[in-house]
Structure 1
Amino acid sequence: MQTILIIINDAPYGSERPFNALRLAIKLNEQDAEPVAVNVFLMSDAVTCALAKQAPTEGYDIQQMVEIVLAQGGEVKLCKTCCAARGLTALPLIEDVVIATLDDLAEWTLAADKVFTF
């Protein structure tokens, strides 16, 4: 099984980078070829992608996309330092999203066959 790590750095609605990264994660999980394990690590302003109860007025829904990645068996982790810097550690997160450390990202990076950054 191929392991793919996707690192996202931008805010959910400030650019289309998180949207495109999550589209890729979802599409990778839908491929009929070799099965893949997709891990998503959110850093910097991207940690806000994991906040629960998002209500975008139009366009894409980042919360829904994160939930799809999780439902497909992917893992989503947030940078603990980035969450603390933005005051997110006490806020409700999307179910099954985990606050993690740079050690976790380092382990995922070393274990990954491919790493993408957005």
Structure 2
Amino acid sequence: MKILFVLHDPPYGTERTYNGIRWARQMVDADGANEVRVFMFGDAVAATASGQKVPNGYYNLDKMITAFTDKGGVVGNCGACMDARGMAEDRIVPGTHRSSMVELAEWTAWADKVINV
């Protein structure tokens, strides 16, 4: 199955992006047959910032996203959202990329299921 997750919330402060990445990772792991992509909108793009330092024992989305892409997941960031937050491409987690509304439209048409978190 081809699944697209669209995430909107900031990486910390709510658990929606955290849970969205956990869910996406589980879907990659589920049976090995799923293709999973995640598109980050708005404040969710900050979840892909590399080098995050969080308190001991707190989840780290940098590491979680790396684990997701290492399993074959794909992550795209809204380019306009990155620009609005002053995020340069060289500061995002390896395996993620600057994306666009054009790519989101292509991914939406590609997907069997779209999950908007």
- Alpha-carbon separation, structure 1, partners of 2:90 and 2:29: 31
Aligned to 1:94: 93
- Alpha-carbon separation, structure 1, partners of 2:98 and 2:68: 16
Task: Give the superposition deviation at 1:89.
Answer: 2.3
Taking the TM superposition and a 5 Å limit, the aligned residue runs for 1:54-69 are 54-57=52-55, 58-69=57-68
Aligned to 1:110: 109
Q: Percent identity?
A: 33
- Contact 2:89/2:97 (8 A) holds in 1: no
Task: Give the superposition deviation at 1:90.
Answer: 5.5
- Given the superposition, is the C-alpha separation of residues 113 and 90 from structure 1 closer, same or farther in structure 2, using an over 3 Å criterion? closer
Deviations 1:29-52 (A, max 9, x none): 1113x6100000001000000100
SS of residue paired to 2:72: coil
Under a length normalisation based on structure 1, what TM-score does the superposition of the two structures give? 0.93
- Alpha-carbon separation, structure 2, partners of 1:49 and 1:31: 23
User: Does 1:35 pair with 2:33?
Assistant: yes
Runs (4+) off by over 3 Å: none
- Contact 1:4/1:115 (8 A) holds in 2: yes
Under a length normalisation based on structure 2, what TM-score does the superposition of the two structures give? 0.94
Deviations 1:22-78 (A, max 9, x none): 11011111113x610000000100000010000110421111110011001010010
Aligned to 1:81: 80
- Alpha-carbon separation, structure 1, partners of 2:19 and 2:80: 24
SS of residue paired to 1:76: strand
Which amino acid letter does the alignment assign opposite residue 28 of structure 2? N
Gap runs ≥5 in structure 1: none
Aligned to 1:22: 21
Aligned to 1:49: 47
Aligned residues: 116
Which amino acid letter does the alignment assign opposite residue 74 of structure 1? G
Gap runs ≥5 in structure 2: none
Q: Which deviates further from its counterpart, 42-51 or 91-100? A: 91-100
